Amino acid sequence: MNKLLTKTFTILIAFMLSGFFIAPAQDIPDDYLSGEFHKGRREALRAQMPENSVAVFFSNPIRNRSNDVDFIYHQDPNLYYLTGYKEPHSVLLVFKESQTNESGQNYNEIFFVQERNPMAEMWNGKRMGTEGVKGRLKIDNAFNGSEFASYNIDFSKFDKVMFYDFQHDVRDTRSDADLYSLIEQFKEKSGYNANANSLSAERPVNNLDVRGLDVIMNNLRGIKTAEELDLLRKAVLISAVGQREVMKAMRPGLSETEIQGIHEFVFKKYGSEYEGYPSIVGAGHNGCILHYIDNNKPEINSEEMILMDLGAEYHGYTADVTRTIPVDGKFSPEEKAIYDLVYKAQEEAIQMCKPGTTFSEISAVARQIINKGLVDLGIISDETDRHLYYPHGLSHHIGLDVHDKGNYGAMEENMVITVEPGIYIPEGSDCDEKWWNIAVRIEDDVLITKDGFELLSAFAPRTTEEIEKLMLEPSPLDAFVLPNLGGDK
Ligand code: GLY
Ligand code: MN
Ligand code: MN
């Protein structure tokens, strides 16, 4: 008996030591943007709004994929930025000045959200409801969407009612609290319908402003706060690790699809929920298609390079990193010539990044280097030749969107931008055939600091020497062998 008790006691202690009785594991990550962040962003918005104005933000619509399956829901980034709310069918009103309701209470924002519904939640997951919004998101003035219709708001008393104009592509689910109804109710209340749905025409209601909000949101979202930088750093670092692991795992015979899978597996391994945009993995001539997302070449071959433009999205914030590497681990002389030219353009542009430098200055320098290099290589005959070998821009902000909101004049501290020159020479181009099907883009993510820059994606090798060296290293995936399903592979 004593022996049994001792044994039971020992097992109990072992369980406790193993963590079994320690606090339950947390259900969700604990590093989302905080309620204070979102509150602070609403304050910052309010500070930039004109006198006697209200700003109105709607959630994104749900998009149907097919039959009864929808695409994964993605919140409108502005609404997410201001609230942290990730559910559909909602509308936020932010007032410049404090308002007083019929009971004499003051408020300066109202949030109408999705109502709790046990049956819907059984199928599709928990809803926050008004209580969750008050408790977790710290937005006190929260109501169910169904209350918007009868909520007494006199939009005509404001000098400006600011909102993003409607795309007219929202599905009517025949509920009085769906996004379609919220928009229709807003149009009715604000007099939008009186404009015959055309705000560009001469309008009878002239306090409706569909342009001003974007100017303010560009100002706000273009400069990242400390909390945003933590998430962006993480997204970029995860994406850089993805590039490194693929460099090690690369070999002829892999498919574009499985290379995409390796990147995205690394993203998930680090808790990145999504890709910030459809992954681009193009071998050989596929690299010349700028937004190639088919990624379905079954076997890449040793003579090709592969262009990989992928960004992990971590808690809403997305990286945007491109590496182009030789499938067999060794750049040919032509590949290296083009690669080094793109690298030179990128490096010069990155070194210029600091507060005060303009986007157009770095873009002009990169373009000039590429044009001169193309002449030196005999690919074009004159630096002023019009050509399509570098057909895209050099830089954009990243954040909640891959092409994020922000201003594109002079750089400022805490902007996060890409620098991404490229050269693409499709088959049939008017140059020596030896250059055909070479496509190189190098894309890095750069934080503008007080007096310079920090290269957030530096962990992913960038020079040809560094890339060739890393590609010699073994990959943990070499040991990941799955059953043959029959057929050739
Ligand atoms: N991945 C899209 C871009 O580089 O802008
Ligand atoms: Mn980009
Ligand atoms: Mn990209």
- Residue 61 DSSP one-character state: P
**Cα 199 to Cα 163, 169, 185, 479, distances in angstroms:** 12, 17, 17, 61
In a domain, 348, yes or no: yes
Find the 370 Cα to ligand 3 centroid distance in Å.
Answer: 19
- Is pTM beyond 0.85? Reply is yes
What is the predicted pLDDT for the residue at 273?
98
**Is 320 near ligand 1, meaning CB less than 6 Å away?**
yes
What is the predicted pLDDT for the residue at 118?
97
**Is 309 near ligand 1, meaning CB less than 6 Å away?**
yes
Same-domain status, 151 and 249:
no
For 264, the enclosing helix (H) or strand (E) is helix 256-269
Choose one of 191, 220, 249: the last residue of a domain. 220
Choose one of 220, 254, 283: the last residue of a domain. 220
In DSSP terms, 312 is beta-bridged to 275
Contact (Cβ atoms closer than 8 angstroms) between residue 235 and residue 312: yes
Same-domain status, 371 and 388:
yes
Q: Is 8's pLDDT higher than 60?
A: no
Could you tell me the pLDDT band of residue 10, with boundaries at 50, 70 and 90?
Answer: very low
Choose one of 197, 220, 243: the last residue of a domain. 220
What is the predicted pLDDT for the residue at 12?
41
212-221 vs 35-48: helix crossing angle, rounded to 10: 130
Q: Is 449's pLDDT higher than 50?
A: yes
Same-domain status, 258 and 131:
no
Model pLDDT for residues 216-250, shown as the tens digit of each residue: 999 999 999 999 999 999 999 999 999 999 999 99
Model pLDDT for residues 287-309, shown as the tens digit of each residue: 999 999 999 999 999 999 999 99
Model pLDDT for residues 122-134, shown as the tens digit of each residue: 999 999 999 999 9
Q: Give the span between the Cα atoms of 300 and 249, in whole angstroms.
A: 13
What is the predicted pLDDT for the residue at 18?
44
Model pLDDT for residues 11-32, shown as the tens digit of each residue: 444 444 444 445 556 789 999 9
Same-domain status, 184 and 318:
no
Same-domain status, 237 and 309:
yes
Of the listed 245, 256, 320, 404, which one is catalytic? 320
Same-domain status, 233 and 378:
yes
In a domain, 5, yes or no: no
Same-domain status, 424 and 295:
yes
Size (the chain), residues: 489
Could you tell me the pLDDT band of residue 39, with boundaries at 50, 70 and 90?
Answer: very high
Find the 247 Cα to ligand 3 centroid distance in Å.
Answer: 18
Ligand 1, residue 320: give the atom nearest the CA: 1
β strands within 123-226, DSSP E: 142-144, 160-163, 208-209
How does DSSP assign 344-373, residue by residue? HHHHHHHHH-STT-BHHHHHHHHHHHHHHH
Model pLDDT for residues 245-256, shown as the tens digit of each residue: 999 999 999 999
Q: Is 96's pLDDT higher than 80?
A: yes
Same-domain status, 186 and 210:
yes
In a domain, 9, yes or no: no
Is 178 considered catalytic here?
no
Q: Is 348's pLDDT higher than 60?
A: yes
In a domain, 342, yes or no: yes
* Mean local confidence (pLDDT), 38-58: 98
Ligand 1, residue 396: give the atom nearest the CA: 5
User: For residue 191, what is the domain's CATH number?
Assistant: 3.40.350.10
Same-domain status, 188 and 51:
yes
Containing domain of residue 152, as a range? Answer: 22-220
Find the 32 Cα to ligand 2 centroid distance in Å.
Answer: 24
Question: HEC states along 315-334?
Answer: CCEECCEEEEEECCCCCCHH
Q: Give the span between the Cα atoms of 84 and 321, in whole angstroms.
A: 26
What is the predicted pLDDT for the residue at 486?
86
In a domain, 343, yes or no: yes
User: For residue 464, what is the domain's CATH number?
Assistant: 3.90.230.10
What is the predicted pLDDT for the residue at 15?
41
In a domain, 375, yes or no: yes
Listed ranges 200-209, 325-334, 480-489; the one with the highest mean pLDDT = 325-334
Of the listed 172, 303, 392, 473, which one is catalytic? 392
Q: Is 451's pLDDT higher than 90?
A: yes
Q: Is 52's pLDDT higher than 90?
A: yes
Same-domain status, 200 and 164:
yes
In a domain, 372, yes or no: yes
Percentage of residues in the chain having pLDDT higher than 90: 90
What is the predicted pLDDT for the residue at 205?
75
In a domain, 11, yes or no: no
Q: And the tokens for 381?
A: 């005959």
What is the predicted pLDDT for the residue at 294?
98
Model pLDDT for residues 473-487, shown as the tens digit of each residue: 999 999 999 999 987
Task: Give the chain's mean pLDDT.
Answer: 93
Split into its structural domains, the chain has a count of: 2
* Mean local confidence (pLDDT), 403-421: 98
What is the predicted pLDDT for the residue at 314?
98
Same-domain status, 197 and 288:
no
**Cα 299 to Cα 180, 214, 234, 306, 440, distances in angstroms:** 46, 45, 32, 12, 20
Q: Is 333's pLDDT higher than 60?
A: yes
Find the 324 Cα to ligand 1 centroid distance in Å.
Answer: 14
Same-domain status, 184 and 40:
yes
Model pLDDT for residues 163-200, shown as the tens digit of each residue: 999 999 999 999 999 999 999 999 999 999 876 545 55
In DSSP terms, 91 is beta-bridged to 58, 112
Ligand 1, residue 403: give the atom nearest the CA: 5
